[in-house]
Amino acid sequence: MPSPKVKEVVLGVCGSIAAYKAGDIIRRLKDNHCDVTVIMTKEAAQFITPLTLASLSGRNVYSGMFDKDSSPMAHIELARSAEIILIAPATANVIGKLANGLADDLLTTFVTTSRAEVFIAPAMNDAMYANQIVRDNCAKLKKYGFKFIEPVKGKLACGTVGVGHLAEVEDIIKAILK
């Protein structure tokens, strides 16, 4: 029996307390025959280290446009090989940048360059997620073909309970692999 085709996934990790779940996402993607490259925002590195994500993915982790270890054309090189882009957790900031065509860091520049299918799994405070500007930005991205893995109701880092909790990792994996 032939081995399953390996999918090339680029995981974008943003600055949210839910960034700690990126490790589990990587592990489960690899269990499902995916190669995973991580691009993390500088804010994400406040929540989880690049070393952790590199150890789990078995690949270098990218964060800055001009990191000493990456090519000045990393966004283009990564875009050529990516089959699936998953941004999890996605913050209101990155959603807003993408919805408005702003490409001012490696993650947003890469997404703007790539032709791969993009999945966004938001995670943020319930009031932020309910904010009309954020809702409009999500709707705009959906019109452009971005797929959303909606957050769920749960206990949030601030202590409240509401919609903004990152979807369950299992549900994220199912959504992008179908």
Rounded CA-CA distance 91/160 in Å is 18
Catalytic residues: 158
The number of domains in the chain is 1
| DSSP character string of 9-20 | EEEEE-SSGGGG
pLDDT in the model for residue 64: 80
Decide if 21 is inside a domain. yes
pTM, whole model, 2 decimals?
0.93
Decide if 81 is inside a domain. yes
Decide if 70 is inside a domain. yes
pLDDT per residue as tens, the chain (178 positions): 555 667 999 999 999 999 999 999 999 999 999 999 999 999 999 999 999 999 999 999 999 876 656 655 666 778 788 999 999 999 999 999 999 999 999 999 999 999 999 999 999 999 999 999 999 999 999 999 999 999 999 998 888 999 999 999 999 999 999 8
pLDDT in the model for residue 66: 62
| Domain containing residue 23 | 7-177
pLDDT in the model for residue 3: 56
For 121, residues 6+ apart whose C-beta sits below 8 A from its C-beta are 86, 87, 88, 89, 90, 148, 149, 151, 166, 167, 172
Decide if 1 is inside a domain. no
Decide if 71 is inside a domain. yes
What single letter denotes the amino acid at residue 96?
A: G
Decide if 86 is inside a domain. yes
CATH number at residue 60: 3.40.50.1950
Decide if 2 is inside a domain. no
Decide if 51 is inside a domain. yes
